[in-house]
Amino acid sequence: MKLKHELVNAISVDECDLTKFIRENYGVSPDYYDFQSDYEASNDSTYEFNVEKKELDEWDRKALEEWKTGIAVPACNMTHIILTDLCNLGLIDAGIYYIWVCW
């Protein structure tokens, strides 16, 4: 018996590179955004995001604006909103992203 599977094209990114990219593009300090903290990421783990250009809903727009301006302490799991925003801005491609964590 063969394992049923599908080969997919994906974008693989090291979490350190993603963290640096987000900090540089949004001008936030190291203590304000860190992928590992945002997802309480475990060592040797991978997180999948389906990133596409789309309008953010009202809650996500508000959360992003508060995050960008420093009005509010960043909420957990902001990365999916940030990736959508980066895609909408044309700074990253749409697609499946695998964020690899190793520390």
Using one digit for the tens of pLDDT, what is the confidence trace for 52-102? 999 999 999 998 998 888 776 666 789 999 999 999 999 999 999 999 999
The whole-model pTM stands at 0.90
Beta bridge pairs of residue 86: none
Distance CA 58, CA 62 (A): 6
In tens, the pLDDT along 2-39 reads 999 998 899 999 999 999 999 999 988 777 888 998 88
